[in-house]
Amino acid sequence: MTPDLQRLLKSENLCYITTYDAIGKPRTVEIWFVCEQGKLYISTGAQSVKVKKLRVTPRARVAIGGWKGPVVEGPARLADDATVRRMVPVLSQKYNDYWGSVDTFTRRNLGSRPSRILIEVTPGTQFPST
């Protein structure tokens, strides 16, 4: 990632994540995110369309800051419990404790039946702003 993109990832609050179904049909939504150690983390409802699509096609395209912002693309996965524990404080700090206390969030969202899922996108390709 370029230094300009790294600065943008730290300063922006919104991204546009595109996920794909089994035949490659895209769906894009605006959502909050954080960037940590070169990866993007996005919290979403466990039953969301994004999660269902990622279970079928584990890749995502993410535009940063706006539809025409720089775009990164790469493999995406549903984060494991250890990653959730590590990333919830980062999300909570960026978004002013929107999800409540870190303990409450992790207690409700770890294990086999979470209400929210954390998506981890590992950018492999970067495209310039359009």
Q: For residue 83, give both structure tokens.
A: 């990653």
Reported as a single tens digit per residue, the pLDDT across 1-57 is 677 888 888 888 899 999 999 999 999 999 989 899 889 999 888 889 999 999 999
Between CA 102 and CA 72 the distance in angstroms is 28
> Is residue 86 within 8 Å of 106, Cβ to Cβ?
no
Mean pLDDT value across residues 104-113: 62
pTM, two decimals, is 0.84
Q: Which residues pair with 59 in a beta bridge?
A: 75
Reported as a single tens digit per residue, the pLDDT across 46-67 is 889 999 999 999 999 999 988 8
Mean pLDDT value across residues 98-109: 60
Q: What domains, with CATH codes, occur in the chain?
A: 3-127 (2.30.110.10)
Burial of residue 19 (number of CB atoms within 10 Å: 0-12, 13-18, 19+)? buried
Mean pLDDT value across residues 60-82: 89
pLDDT for 99 equals 57
The DSSP symbol for 57 reads: S
